[in-house]
Structure 1
Amino acid sequence: MTFTDTLSEQTGIPESSLRLLFTIIFAYPIAVIYRIFLLRPIASKYAASIRQWYILITGLSLSYFYNRHDIIHSLITTTVTWIFCYIGDKIGSRSLGTAAVFIFNMVYLLLGYIYMSTDEYDVNWTMTQCVLCLRMIGFAMDYMDGAKLINKKASTETAQREKTTPNDQPVSTTRLAKQPKLPISFQKNIALPTLPSYISTIAYAHFFTAFLTGPQFSYHLYQTFINMRSYPDPSRIPRGSYKHAFQCIAGGAIYLLVSQIGQMFFPQYVLVSEEFAKWDTLHRFVYFWMVGKFAFSKYLGVWKLVEGSCALLGISFNGFDDNGQPEWNGLANVESLRFEFATSLNDIISSFNINTNLWAKIYVFKRLIFLNSKTISSLGVLFFLALWHGLHTGYFMCFFLEFVDMEAEKRWSKRVEFIKKSLYEKKMKNGISGKLAWGAYRVVCWFLQTCALHYAMVAFDLLRYEWCITAWRNVYFAGHFVVFGLIFLDLVLPKGRSAGPRKVEGKQQEETALLKDTMEKAKTNGISNGVNAEYSVHHKKE
């Protein structure tokens, strides 16, 4: 009997959940050792190999601790992925090798779901396998894209881009400060012209801070990190990572504590009970909202803890802010404040499960460009992500409902845009009434966004079709009627005639231009209008 088994008997916490938590915690001392002895210049031509072997051994050890003998699944899929890439290159068709990798990893994962799945959230080897599935598919696609770099005659544009890419060589602080701050997981030059060694692939696949729940990041970032090319001066690692790690530990612990307490007072099984259907209407709606709210907390807590170990290790260095202070949030999977105070589902997309959102955009949405339709491509992405999560009906119901939510938000945000602009202009005049009106508008937007989000999230947690239908029926399918009703109204109501641009003098003109620029950035911050590639906001993994 292991210590997690004993602790499980004493606390009543499931043993698998304890193993998950301890796997995340053990990554911290491993990261500290790396930080002290290996995150510095090493006077040896084997420096990168030394770092890689450390990552390989510790990653496999942690994976074995969590998966035990089921680690064989990750070793099989990583090995087969590398072999398919190798054969594809040898026969002159990397695309064929990549197709084989895609099919093999998805089929292996789905068979794992079929064999291991229960009616509840599963904490077993399929959790790490689903993270690995995306990592290996992305790895193969990067290798496929790297084929075009082999032709030196066509490499001029690539060479110019690489000269200005911060991860390829040490660059100045000023240059790093101008780079996009979130995320650094997938940059423009991630294509792999040559196949990494088998050992490198295994180490990358089992990276000890990321193999369990993510974050996803490219092999290019991994290679840059072990070669010490992430910093302006490798001999002087910027400060602040320990502080950032501590903040992440505190934030993660709070989220997990809130999740435990919240689920004690608002257990989800009540939603499908006969007693719940007898409650008064308002009580049911409030309880339903609270269940959806606390369902997010456990994901946020785990991601914050993982972000801390990535910062401590040093891989998440994200350049410098406008004041020249180093930032360590490059692999953050959630922006807590932005998520908690989001006033639109677009804000949620760009602040929740950030790296998986970006992975879906790069490796799925953009690959569906041949469909010549953003809407169809978005639906394709959502179907892929639902399937990736598992075979439970609740995943598909949740993802589809949130796609409809996003469609309704997109349509009605255009209709009420004039109200938002008017309130914002009143706020900028510094009048108390204007600020109160703007604040009230944001509170209303926040409430509507959370209602849509939590309503769909319940299906993600309940999983079974009959449970989802029962829970929604107990609140009269309110979310469905509202969102489909809004879309119907938008279709039948006349489109508002856009007013011409008003002449605004001096400071007001600058404020209006700033608002327009801010709104445009907000629209493109997520996975584009409908890349709603994971506007499913509740990826159980990564």
Structure 2
Amino acid sequence: MEANEADGIISFIARSIGAQENAVRLLTSLFLGYPFAFFHRQFLHGKAAILQHLYFISVGLWICYFNFGFAVIHSLANILLIYVLLVTVGGTQLSVGLALIGNMSYLLYGYLLPKDTDNYDISWTTPHCVLTLRLTSLVFDIYDGRRKQNNAKLSAEQESTALDKVPSLIEILGQTYYFGGFMVGPQFSMRRYLDFVNGEFSDKITGGPPASVKPGLSRLVLGLCYTLLFQILSVYTPDSYLTDPEFLNSTLLYKLLYILIWGRVFLFKYNGCWLITEGACLVTGLSYNGKDKNGNDLWDGCANIIPYYCEVGDTGQKLIQGFNINTNLWMAKYVFKRLKFLGNKDLSQLCTLLFLAVWHGTNSGYFINFCLEFLIIKCEREVGSVVDLNPTLHAIHTSKLTYPIIWFIKRCCILIGLGYALIGFALLDFDKWLTVYNGTYWLPFIIYLTVPIWKVPLKVIFPPVKSRQNGEQNHNTDKQSKTE
């Protein structure tokens, strides 16, 4: 099929479903991951690593060109810069600092280029977000490997990804352009990729490809469901309606209910994309993650979403744990935990969210989104400590009789809160999200910012009881919170 014919088909599909051409191209690239994955299973699994690297490089470069044309040069240039850095000063603190500055600077350069619209555009910076984190973590992992050689104590998490030598350029290119993770993620370490191409995830009995087709196709089906739901429901919940005079002049209750529903629909497109690309990773076998306690294979090594948490989670912490998992784990491992020297958990989290906002882009909407996310999590911890330490509140919260009602109330509140945060993420422009926030009287911000005030009478009415049992329970809660 010639390029003009392919462009014509993409344009026809985009017009037919009312979508942008670049979005159709991206989704087409994700679907193409399945024939590419089955080809790898059939002809390249268990073959020499060099053949697999070359396959992933050629396919990934084609996908990049199919979506962004000659802008493929940006990913190649960034990879070469990091490779030169690694072979010259790799394994040092200097390499880590230069990688962070260099990778983020290149990404920000892309963000600052003129855009066609004020809305989010799918451009070469879309996969470059993924590339930025992947190359940065590679430098960190080699630094950890050098520390390990010098008898420094690493965490179990750092041990699992530390590298004792700089990978070859072809290995770095193969990991980068692996079709299952190039466009929208997920993040996965070089250690995982090398284990994969070296056959570590093969079927232990036959030595052939792992039994991962069924779980892979199940993720494809689920991803399709999310994608179809978004395409259907987004017609009735457009982003533009948030700034429409009809919405702004409606009642506050109506606005909050719309934000709740709109926020859920808005995230469906991300859920769909991540599930579809995860399925391709599963088919190849990259997602292997050991065995559970019953000896069954685990296939969640590249999972970027836990649908159960997304659909029934009643706290911001649960929803965050189930959404964009690998990016959140990356931020925790390479930013949050590395800021331990600050000596303040809230400050470390705030710096991490600031980094996350800049990584997404320079628009003010990203910053207001993650600012509110920080306040939501902090509010949950503050109120949660009061509930956990008071026997009456704790009993009501855990009672089988009252739990469904409490769950429904909490679920609605958190969906409104996170939906409110997503307004900035979706509208991006300062004037747009400010108009919506003014129209809703900044209500969630007022609630979350005044927690220190209304927490005082709450503790007076429901004072903490420092019994042995409750003390142990609070200790366990703090321990779990630190883990998360």
Common topology (TM > 0.5): yes
Q: Which residue does 1:101 correspond to in 2? A: 99
Distance apart, 1:326 and its partner CA = 2.1
The 5 A counterparts of 1:166-245 are: 188-231=159-202, 233=204, 235-236=206-207, 240-245=211-216
Report the AA paired with residue 305 of structure 1.
I
Cα distance in 2 between the residues matched to 1:132 and 1:80: 13
Query: Secondary structure, in 3 states, of the residue corresponding to 1:265?
Result: coil
Q: Are residues 1:498 and 2:462 paired? A: no
Distance apart, 1:5 and its partner CA = 4.1
Deviation string, structure 1 residues 27-51 (Cα, Å, up to 9, x no partner): 11111111122334x4xxxx22222
Cα distance in 2 between the residues matched to 1:437 and 1:7: 52
Deviation string, structure 1 residues 226-256 (Cα, Å, up to 9, x no partner): 1112357274458652221121111111111
Mapped contact 2:219–2:276 kept (Cα < 8 A): yes
The 5 A counterparts of 1:248-267 are: 248-267=219-238
Cα distance in 2 between the residues matched to 1:141 and 1:372: 21
Mapped contact 2:257–2:416 kept (Cα < 8 A): no
- The partner residue of 1:296 within 243, 254, 267 is 267
Deviation string, structure 1 residues 4-27 (Cα, Å, up to 9, x no partner): 444324424211011101110111
Q: Which residue does 2:43 correspond to in 1? A: 37
Q: Which residue does 2:126 correspond to in 1? A: 127
Q: Are residues 1:14 and 2:14 paired? A: no
Query: Secondary structure, in 3 states, of the residue corresponding to 1:436?
Result: coil
Q: Which residue does 1:50 correspond to in 2? A: 51
Which stretches in structure 1 are left out of the alignment for 5+ residues?
166-185, 428-434, 504-511, 527-542
- The partner residue of 1:3 within 6, 12, 19 is 6
Report the AA paired with residue 465 of structure 2.
S
Report the AA paired with residue 473 of structure 1.
N
Query: Secondary structure, in 3 states, of the residue corresponding to 1:212?
Result: coil
Q: Which residue does 1:168 correspond to in 2? A: none
Report the AA paired with residue 421 of structure 1.
H
- Distance change in 2, residues 1:412/1:375 (3 Å): same
Cα distance in 1 between the residues matched to 2:316 and 2:208: 37
Q: Which residue does 1:355 correspond to in 2? A: 326
Identity of aligned pairs, percent? 31
Cα distance in 2 between the residues matched to 1:306 and 1:221: 17
Cα distance in 1 between the residues matched to 2:264 and 2:250: 20
Distance apart, 1:357 and its partner CA = 0.8
Q: Which residue does 2:421 correspond to in 1? A: 456
Cα distance in 2 between the residues matched to 1:414 and 1:520: 9
Cα distance in 1 between the residues matched to 2:173 and 2:324: 24
- Distance change in 2, residues 1:485/1:227 (3 Å): same
Cα distance in 2 between the residues matched to 1:364 and 1:498: 36
Cα distance in 1 between the residues matched to 2:139 and 2:210: 35
Deviation string, structure 1 residues 148-170 (Cα, Å, up to 9, x no partner): 2444xx38x88xx9xxx9xxxxx
Query: Secondary structure, in 3 states, of the residue corresponding to 1:264?
Result: coil
Report the AA paired with residue 56 of structure 2.
I
Report the AA paired with residue 394 of structure 2.
K
Cα distance in 2 between the residues matched to 1:284 and 1:99: 45
Mapped contact 2:41–2:284 kept (Cα < 8 A): yes
Please say which of residues 382-391 and 4-13 is displaced more in the overlay. 4-13
Mapped contact 2:227–2:272 kept (Cα < 8 A): yes
- Distance change in 2, residues 1:254/1:270 (3 Å): same
Report the AA paired with residue 342 of structure 1.
G
Mapped contact 2:202–2:285 kept (Cα < 8 A): no
Cα distance in 2 between the residues matched to 1:296 and 1:277: 22
Distance apart, 1:419 and its partner CA = 4.7
Query: Secondary structure, in 3 states, of the residue corresponding to 1:228?
Result: coil
Q: Which residue does 1:137 correspond to in 2? A: 136
Distance apart, 1:187 and its partner CA = 6.1
Cα distance in 2 between the residues matched to 1:300 and 1:518: 32
Distance apart, 1:119 and its partner CA = 1.3
Which has more helix, going by share of residues? 2
- Distance change in 2, residues 1:68/1:234 (3 Å): farther
Q: Which residue does 1:523 correspond to in 2? A: 481
Q: Which residue does 2:65 correspond to in 1? A: 64
Cα distance in 2 between the residues matched to 1:99 and 1:234: 45
- Distance change in 2, residues 1:447/1:362 (3 Å): same
- The partner residue of 1:422 within 389, 395, 414 is 395
Report the AA paired with residue 217 of structure 2.
F
Cα distance in 1 between the residues matched to 2:454 and 2:135: 44
Mapped contact 2:275–2:305 kept (Cα < 8 A): yes
Mapped contact 2:201–2:210 kept (Cα < 8 A): no
Please say which of residues 225-234 and 291-300 is displaced more in the overlay. 225-234
Mapped contact 2:385–2:474 kept (Cα < 8 A): no
Normalized against structure 2, the TM-score is what?
A: 0.91
The 5 A counterparts of 1:300-311 are: 300-311=271-282
Deviation string, structure 1 residues 376-417 (Cα, Å, up to 9, x no partner): 111111111100000110000110111111111110011122
Report the AA paired with residue 209 of structure 1.
G
Number of residues paired by the alignment? Answer: 473
- Distance change in 2, residues 1:36/1:408 (3 Å): same
Cα distance in 1 between the residues matched to 2:37 and 2:313: 33
Q: Are residues 1:384 and 2:342 paired? A: no
Cα distance in 1 between the residues matched to 2:457 and 2:101: 43
Cα distance in 1 between the residues matched to 2:397 and 2:213: 39
Mapped contact 1:4–1:19 kept (Cα < 8 A): no
Mapped contact 1:84–1:98 kept (Cα < 8 A): no
Q: Which residue does 2:245 correspond to in 1? A: 274
Cα distance in 2 between the residues matched to 1:271 and 1:236: 55
Cα distance in 2 between the residues matched to 1:322 and 1:363: 29
Deviation string, structure 1 residues 249-287 (Cα, Å, up to 9, x no partner): 111111111112221001111111222222233322222
- The partner residue of 2:431 within 466, 483, 494 is 466
Distance apart, 1:489 and its partner CA = 1.8
Deviation string, structure 1 residues 82-131 (Cα, Å, up to 9, x no partner): 10111114xxx722223222211111110100104441111010001111
Cα distance in 2 between the residues matched to 1:235 and 1:222: 21
Distance apart, 1:455 and its partner CA = 1.2
Cα distance in 1 between the residues matched to 2:22 and 2:5: 12
Deviation string, structure 1 residues 314-367 (Cα, Å, up to 9, x no partner): 010122333333232221100001221001111112111111111111111122
Cα distance in 1 between the residues matched to 2:119 and 2:345: 33
Mapped contact 2:386–2:464 kept (Cα < 8 A): no
Mapped contact 1:81–1:136 kept (Cα < 8 A): yes
- Distance change in 2, residues 1:204/1:116 (3 Å): farther
Q: Are residues 1:395 and 2:366 paired? A: yes
Q: Are residues 1:366 and 2:367 paired? A: no
Report the AA paired with residue 50 of structure 1.
L
What root-mean-square deviation, in Å, do the aligned CA atoms of Structure 1 and Structure 2 show? 2.6
- Distance change in 2, residues 1:187/1:420 (3 Å): farther
